[in-house]
Amino acid sequence: MPTYRINPYISFIENRLFPGAIQRAVFHRLTGEIIEHDFTRSLTADEVQLRQLTQSGFLITPDYDPLAPLLDWYVARPIQNPALMYRSKTGEWMLVRTSMKQTVYSPKRDELPVVIEEQLSKSAAEILLMADGTRTLHQIFSQVGEGRATLDFLTTQERQLIKLTPRREDLDDPFSSVNIVPRNLYHSERKDQPRPDSSTEAIIDFHLTGIEDASWEFDQIEPTVNHCFRFPHEALGGLDYASRFCLSTLNPEVVPLMNSPKLEVLEVGGGTGSFARSFIKRAASLEATNVNYHILDLSPALMENQRKILSDLLPESQHFQQDATEFDLPGHTFDLIISNEVIADFPVASVQRKNGNEFQGDGAYYLDKYDLSAKDAPDPFVVNSGAFRFIERAWKHLKPGGTLIVTEYGSDHIYPARSYNLNHDEFTIHFGHLAACAAKVGFQCRLLTLKEFLAFDDDVLMLNGREEHLLCLNHVLKNYGDILPYAVISKSDFEERSQRVIEETGLIGYSFSPLNKGYHFGPSIKDFLVLIMNKPW
């Protein structure tokens, strides 16, 4: 059997996001290819994986040149790396980056990634400038004298500044191998919580005490679509999210009671308050529309923020602190109830298959009550029990002819899945079950995508990247009097506000993709659905 050594461009990573389990893998820092394997175990018992590692060049013979098969591959800067390069006022090329070794989810206030600025050598700057996907590794080496040594510097696991690909058509896909930057995945603030059957108290406790700062929560922990589009945006026809939501909602096809002298509106889960502010102001600009707005929330920190930014629009008496799954507002009925990006926070209940089509567990009650189909369900699974209870409460608080609108991420048929990258439990929504529940309660239902409902133009080019991309950009821009918000930023907006800095510094490293590619700050709109529920007269 031949002797093998580990390719020098191979690194090891692990995923610790899932409680009680550690996933380990190896990846090629030049190609981005990932192979799941735990190198704490011996390879001798797994001949299939040994063959895979050798065929992929992860393991090589002692005399093998690891770059030989890659010389004709194109060299590019990976889109998922937030690193930037700019020329300082004294003429040196500077690199601004964060560590590419790990990602920490739900960071504490003092745990933002450290931004590192370092001066680049002439050869390193030359390679990064040429790494635009138009040249092969061989072509770059022929122009840079210290090419191999510099390549080693640029491709450490800490930096991962360039990647290679044989297919130029992959360069524009943010999720292709040439553009990914594999890292260790850790979690900082996840609370220890019970399993689904007893999760109600844990979820309520988080919203009562776990949110300390509204801006931090939505900038760094769980950006919502509303938060990402809280400023006027090209993709929404020049409107912000809530203004566009208002126009999509306040028409007779959605809210039949539009001819009422005053429209009583309840928003459930008010976030920072930005949605309510924009909705109220847009409604006020419409002729013959008089909206009397109310907000129901559970989090004291969020309610404080809502009161602050709505002080001139919403009386104290129209703020209610209650659990939305059990809310009760005696003497109040509404024409319109809105739950925008909230119900994923509600409790779930687990179900186990007893035999055949018989089920047991706390969730089995809801299967029977709402005649929910579970023929294609995995075993075990969960149901969105809190969302079902919320629909029941909303029905009781709606006037005849009133409308309930729910938006959230999920699917019309996929069973709820837990999100492990947040500091609290959230579960995707099975909208097929949600609609079945609503119909059983008595609603007439219509299911749309969020793109359809808000008429998103998802071909608009957006600034690529997550929180770290904005962090690195702001490290450079703040020296020139500008700071980008944590939001989805269009190409036109970015260039309008930053063109002077770009020209003055030769800034590179940022890129743009259509909104439909989904690689921008916050969640992808294609994951969100809207369920419109009308209560018959």
Edge-to-edge order in the sheet of strand 349-355:
358-360, 349-355, 381-383
Helix (H) or strand (E) holding 116: strand 116-119
How large is the average pLDDT for residues 92-104?
Answer: 97
Torsion, Cα of 85, 89, 91, 93 (10° steps)? -20
Q: Which of 44-53, 285-294, 342-351 has the lowest mean pLDDT?
A: 44-53
**What mean pLDDT is predicted for residues 328-340?**
97
Phi, psi dihedral angles at 342 (to 5 degrees): -125, -40
Per CATH, the homologous superfamily of domain 208-347+382-456+523-534 is: Vaccinia Virus protein VP39 (3.40.50.150)
Residues 226/240, Cβ–Cβ less than 8 Å:
no
Residue type, 416: P
> What is the per-residue pLDDT across 436-478, written as a single tens digit (0 to 9) for each?
999 999 999 999 999 999 999 999 999 999 999 999 999 999 9
In which order are the strands placed within the sheet that holds 184-187?
34-36, 23-28, 10-15, 184-187, 102-105
Task: With H, G, I as helix, E, B as strand and everything else as coil, classify residue 303.
Answer: helix
Could you tell me the pTM of the whole model?
A: 0.94
What is the phi/psi pair of residue 366, to 5°? -75, -30
Residue 351 has pLDDT above 80, yes or no: yes
Mean pLDDT to the nearest integer, 516-531: 97
pLDDT digits (tens, 9 = 90+) for 273-315: 999 999 999 999 987 678 999 999 999 999 999 999 999 999 9
pLDDT of residue 43: 55
Break the chain into its structural domains and give their ranges: 5-187, 208-347+382-456+523-534, 461-517
> How does the average pLDDT of the chain come out, rounded?
93
- Find the mean pLDDT for residues 160-188: 96
pLDDT at 198 over 70: no
Residue that is written with structure tokens 């299911």 in the block: 447
What is the model's pLDDT at position 98?
98
Q: How far apart are CA 432 and CA 434, in angstroms?
A: 5
Q: Where are the beta strands (DSSP E) in 137-232?
A: 163-165, 184-187
Q: Mean pLDDT lowest for which of 53-57, 107-111, 299-303, 479-483?
A: 107-111
Label residue 202 by pLDDT band (50, 70, 90).
Answer: low
Average pLDDT over residues 353-367: 91
Q: For position 42, what pLDDT does the model report?
A: 60
Q: For residue 368, what are the contacts with CB-CB under 8 A and spacing of at least 6?
A: none
Please check whether residue 96 is in contact with residue 117, taking contact to mean a CB–CB distance below 8 angstroms. Answer: yes
Q: Give the pLDDT confidence of 377-408 residue by residue, as tens digits.
A: 999 999 999 999 999 999 999 999 999 999 99
- Is the dihedral angle over the CA atoms 352, 357, 358, 364 positive or is it negative? positive
Does residue 192 carry a pLDDT above 90? no
**pLDDT recorded at residue 45:** 52
pLDDT band at 353 (very low <50, low <70, confident <90, very high): very high
Q: Cα(66)–Cα(44) distance, rounded to whole angstroms?
A: 23
pLDDT at position 288, please?
67
- Sign of the C-alpha dihedral, residues 154, 158, 164, 170? negative
Token digits for 494?
Answer: 């970015």
Beta strands in 251-329 (DSSP E): 263-268, 291-297, 319-321
Predicted local confidence at residue 455, as pLDDT? 97
Nearest to 268 by CA among 231, 320, 307: 320
